[in-house]
Amino acid sequence: MDIRKISIGPDYKSGAMHYLVGQKILGDSNEIHHIKRQPETGNVLIYIINKKEEVVLWKEFTFAIPISIEFNIDF
């Protein structure tokens, strides 16, 4: 399943950082392109795409911190 959104931090409503596919970041010069979970480690990787259509790894989070994952659900 595709990951749509992740929230990082202990308090979902007031203390977490939220990352959503399609979200503009870094002064609107990039956007979140893909969020992936590594099966081997369980780490969550966030890839971004810039205006030149280059996709690069931006952030990696380990499951040592609280992470909430929302998946795309298509009916």
Q: Are 26 and 33 in contact (CB under 8 A)?
A: no
**Residue partners of 57: CB distance under 8 A and separation at least 6:** 45, 46, 47
Residue 61 is encoded by which pair of tokens? 């989070």
pLDDT tens per residue across span 5-64: 999 998 888 889 999 999 999 999 999 999 999 999 989 999 999 999 999 999 999 988
Judged against a pLDDT cut of 90, whether residue 70 lies above it is answered with: yes
pLDDT at 12: 87
| Count of domains forming the chain | 1
Structural domain span for residue 60: 3-71
pTM comes to 0.89
Report the C-alpha gap between 62 and 22 in whole angstroms. 22
